[in-house]
Structure 1
Amino acid sequence: MGIVQRQGLRNTVISYVGLGIGFVNTTLVLPRLLAPAQLGLLSVLVSLATIGQLVSALGFTNTTMRYFPYFRNRETGHAGYLPLLLGVPLLMFGVVATVLWLGRPLVLRLYAHDAGLLAPHYGAMLALMLCILLYGLLDAYTKSLFYSSFSSFLTDVLQRLLIVGAALLYGNGYLSFDGFVLAYLGSYATIAVLLLGYLGAIGELHLRPTRAVLRVRPVGELVRFGGFALLGNVSGTLLVTIDSLMLGSHSFANAGIYSIALNISTALAIPFRALYKTAHPLIAEYWKESATDKMLDFYRRTTRLTTALGAYLALGIGLNLPFIYGLIHKPAFTAGTVAVLLLLVGRLTDGITGVNGIIVVTSPRYRYDLLFNLGLSGLIIGLNILLIPRLGLNGAALSNALALVSINLARTWFVWRSFGWQPFDRRILYILGLAAGAGAAAWALPDMPNIWLTLLLRGGVLTLLYGGGLLLTGWVPEVSAAWAGVRQRLRGA
């Protein structure tokens, strides 16, 4: 796990710096400066652009993670893989963008209640789709080269700083709202250009097409895998976009409140994403080398680690929601409290079940993941149709949580049935029991006169009981090793 630990540590540090910036962005800046309906518009624009780029990519991001090990050869420019990676999706983008532009009247009719807010920014949505597509393709290529920390910096730190800066300019009257939307788009364009420049700086920007790329692996195999990956990715994309789109069709304001709840719950996923960025290409290498023992060991260790981190963060966020919403100073956003708790359940389950999805999608049996994902897509849409009209934004959150729990249980079962691997042992139950006890103790504490004191008291008790319990028991060796490293550095200082 050497390269995973190095890149994972960098990604985690960057991600938590970004988490701090994102917290300021989503709780202190955007909700204070923008109305819920304006935030809802942004979430709808991003959701539409994300679905459009998914279709345009044709699954090539997953194809890259799965097959790039066969092309990797720096001396030959990786057989000209990058031009293939960019060329086909960009051609498809032209088709998708044309269809969306011609379908503009239909889209505006779906959002008739706020069409006046959406219509002026429809073109910006198409440009946003192009930027997200380019960045996603370049990011997959960069990850496959085992350089994932710079892309983490771009998305988790720089882009958020750019959005904060644009919001402050809007709040102080230097930008109109239309100008802010363009600046928001510019943040996506900036990170795509910078990632392209980074690849050039490290000598990996091989843009010259070669025929050799057609001989490394059969093109038909790449296209078929991409097609399966595209259909499989639909469910993951719907999981983070369909809620905003369907809520937005009822009310942009509800979509805006939900977007803040979703952003708050995203803090729980930070350590998982940091790990998975490096885990994906590594697991692909394990499959290539038939290193099943290494893969099973990695599966168990990462599951144990993500369970420990996930439980701590879920409790920390849930216990301090009054503090978080208190910083926004807009009572309308507190309507998302229950939604946050429901979303945390789904994200915690995602962490506890570990890297099962990556194992399936990179395995020889990757086609079966399509069945799970298509079923999940239907479940997400069906639950939203059923629950959003009855429960509003809480219905969207409940649908999201049920979908995450369902897909992870299904994938965990499939990995166990197909390969005989399951990542759980008694220590997982011990960790969850310890987390429940520490959380109950922190929750039982009385509120202090000041919300900051309440935060420090509950957070301190939770950290002391839970962190101390993990160190004393040694249930998570990675936590003990990290603490030993910190102590050694402190002594050296």
Structure 2
Amino acid sequence: MGIVQRQGLRNTVISYFGLGLGFVNTTLLLPSFLEPRQMGLTTVLASIATIYAQLSAFGFASMGIRFFPYFRDAQNRHHGFLPLLLGLPLLGFAVITVLYLLGRPLVLQLYTHDADLLGPYYLWGAVLALFTLLYSLQDAYLKSLYHTAFSSFLQEVLLRILIAVVAFLFGKGYLTFHEFVLAYIGVNSLITLVLTAYLAAIGELHLRPTRAVLRVRPVRELVNFGAFALLSNISGTIIMSVDSLMLGSKSSFADAGIYAIAMNISTALVIPARALGKIAFPLLADYWKQQDLTRMANFYRRTTRLLAVAGCWLALGIGLNLDFIYSLIKRPEYAAGTTAVLLLLAGRLFDSITGVNGLIVVTSPRYRYDLIFNISLAVATVVLNLLLIPPLGLQGAALAALLALVSINVARTWFVWQSYRMQPFDYQIVMILGAAALAGLAAWSLPLIHSIFVTMLLRSGLLTALYAGLLLATPLRHDLLAFIRKTSTSK
């Protein structure tokens, strides 16, 4: 087995184990120990640090992966590529830090409801951003070297275990909240230092600058690509982070904390799409290379059915059992996010039902339009949050996410149809939605039994049995059985 296959297998195992740890951490452990306002602070700090680091990096993490093959030369220390990869982003960090410090009064004014909580940790946001930046650059360097499993382990597993330990110590009274926040920043910084030590251990920590690096590829070309990547990356970061930031500003840190938990609960719907994306991305690229649009269209339809099947089941399973999920959190105030969860589930479900339209665009000859879609989605998300958060609070943020996801997926689906005459829908999608509606209605009709846990088991069992039975009675059974056989064989 080659290094790429080995690293890929390890990454898959680490990713799914990390998803489980992440769910326990962010949905059960942290909200059990932290009040919504405290949870909101950590969410806002993490969002600030992520955007701060993205702006500082100037797209150089993506640039590193794209252009490293031209610099690869182990005997000559890759012509000083690592100092170049780190140098401009660190200069960018210095510039952004000056702006960040000068902007402190404005930022605290934006978060006037919780300025007393954010103020003491404002400078620590810069520290967290620095280590976030260094981690992303080193991670990109390791990806270029085909060493991806260790950095995935640090991010997906070790970091979440350390955060769980810190949260447990805070919950048991061994740490004050101030010490918890510093420890939270500390463990995020620690994994960056561990990654640096790993680079040294494998003999790839080459920090001495050389003039040779300027002769391999024109620096202007690298910077231009970085600028393009920055626009794409920052739009994605805004989409993921801006709702929490704006909710904390327009409403309160408490609402931001409740919303963060609602967002984490709904994230389960992303798992099938992420798993499929690992397969779909290279396969679609190959279809484009061969100009085999017929097979691509067939793949588009079949994967859309599978995503719709999984998405409907997960959305109904979560939505019908929210009482049980929130009962696992010992703080009832987080249940105020129930409506937000349902809205977020609806948005993610629509995203699933419209299939791999985004991957088709980004692998197509018209891939630059993906940047337009990402920027449009980021702008729409910001505008909708501005309009909906003031009157509706955290439900407004969730509704903004739903409307933005629906709009961008309608636009992408239309673009693929107009450009390449491919669309993912047929009568079987209607069958899936019908089966989901019948199974969901039957499970919802079950009365509350003597305990929430027993009710959850009965609803989940009825939903799964009836949904599966209805689907297996349709032509979809061939796709589903083939997928199950393929999955079983691959294991």
TM norm structure 2? 0.85
Name the CA distance, whole Å, in 2 between partners of 1:360 and 1:72.
30
What CA RMSD, in Å, does the superposition of the two structures yield over aligned residues?
A: 3.5
Deviates more, 1:87-96 or 1:353-362: 353-362
Matched with 2:316 is 315
Unaligned runs of 5+ in 1: none
Tell me how far apart the structure 1 counterparts of residues 75 and 267 of structure 2 sit (CA, whole Å).
Answer: 40
- Whether 1:109 aligns to 2:109 is yes
CA distance 1:406–1:70, change in 2 (3 Å): farther
> 2:292, 2:417 → 1: CA distance?
14
1:237-386 mapped onto 2 (5 Å cutoff): 237-249=237-249, 250-276=251-277, 282=282, 286=286, 290-293=289-292, 296=296, 302-361=303-362, 364-386=365-387
| Corresponding residue of 2:120 | 120
Distance 2:68 2:436 in 1: 40
CA distance in 1, matches of 2:243, 2:429: 31
The amino acid of 1:135's aligned partner reads Y
Instruction: Tell me if the contact between 1:14 and 1:156 (Cα under 8 Å) persists in the aligned partners.
Output: yes
Q: Which amino acid aligns with 2:58?
A: L
1:291 Cα deviation after fit: 4.5
Deviation (angstroms), 1:430: 4.2
Aligned-partner Cα distance in 2 for 1:46–1:74: 36
- Which deviates the most, 65-74 or 397-406? 65-74
Cα gap change, 1:64 to 1:478, in 2 (>3 Å): farther
1:431-446 map, 5 Å = 431-446=432-447
CA distance 1:278–1:182, change in 2 (3 Å): farther
What is the number of residues matched between the two proteins?
484
User: Which residue of 1 is the match for residue 464 of structure 2?
Assistant: 463
- Structure 1 CA distance, aligned partners of 2:442 and 2:214? 61
Aligned-pair CA distance for 1:384: 1.2
In 2: Cα distance, 1:267 partner to 1:484 partner: 22
Name the SS of the counterpart of 2:63 in structure 1: helix
1:358 is displaced (CA, Å) by 4.3
Q: 1:226 and 2:226 equivalent?
A: yes
Contact 2:27–2:264 at 8 Å: present in 1 too? no
Q: Which residue of 2 aligns with 1:400?
A: 401
| DSSP-derived class of the 1:446 partner | coil
Query: d(CA) in 2 for partners of 1:147 and 1:278?
Result: 20
Q: Distance in 2 between matches of 1:145 and 1:78?
A: 11
> Whole-Å Cα distance in 1 between the matches of residues 161 and 25 of structure 2?
8
CA pair 373-20 structure 1, distance change in 2 beyond 3 A: closer
Return the alpha-carbon distance in structure 2 between the equivalents of residues 431 and 67 of structure 1. Answer: 44
Shift of 1:237: 1.7
Say if 1:228 and 1:367, in contact at 8 Å, map to a contact too: no
SS in 2 for 1:290: helix
d(CA) in 1 for partners of 2:159, 2:235? 26
Kept in 2, the 8 Å contact 1:445–1:458? The answer is yes
Counterpart of 1:474 in 2: which secondary structure? helix
Alpha-carbon separation, structure 1, partners of 2:215 and 2:290: 26
Relative to structure 1, the CA distance from residue 406 to residue 255 in structure 2 (aligned partners, 3 Å threshold; closer, same or farther) is same
Question: What is the rounded CA distance, in whole Å, between the counterparts of 1:11 and 1:460 in structure 2?
Answer: 32
The whole-number CA distance in structure 2 between the counterparts of 1:354 and 1:212 is: 46
Q: Find the aligned partners of 1:65 and 1:204 in 2 and give their Cα distance.
A: 15
- One-letter code aligned to 1:452: F
Question: Taking structure 1 as reference, are residues 466 and 89 closer, same or farther at Cα in structure 2, changes over 3 Å only?
Answer: farther
Shift of 1:323: 0.5
CA distance in 1, matches of 2:4, 2:480: 17
- The 5 A counterparts of 1:58-69 are 58-64=58-64, 66-67=66-67
Classify 1:91/1:169 alpha carbon distance in 2 versus 1 (closer, same or farther; 3 Å): same
Q: Distance in 2 between matches of 1:151 and 1:110?
A: 35
Q: Structure 1 CA distance, aligned partners of 2:408 and 2:104? A: 33
Q: How far did residue 171 of structure 1 move? A: 1.6
Q: Which residue of 2 aligns with 1:485?
A: 489
Deviation, structure 1 residue 228: 2.4
In structure 1, C-alpha distance between the alignment counterparts of 2:334 and 2:131, rounded to whole Å: 30
Tell me, in whole angstroms, the C-alpha distance in 2 between the residues paired with 1:154 and 1:285.
30
Q: In the alignment, which residue of structure 2 is the partner of 1:48?
A: 48
Give 1:162's aligned residue. Answer: 162
Q: Secondary structure of 2:173's match? A: coil
Partner of 1:89: 89
* Offset of residue 176 of structure 1: 1.4
Report the TM-score when normalising by structure 1: 0.85
The secondary structure found in structure 2 opposite 1:381 is helix
- 1:177 to partner: Cα distance: 0.9
1:138 equivalenced with 2:138 (yes/no) = yes
Report the Cα offset of residue 24 of structure 1: 2.7
**The residue matched to 2:55 in structure 1 has which SS?**
helix
Once structures 1 and 2 are overlaid, which stretch shifts more, 151-160 or 469-478?
Answer: 469-478
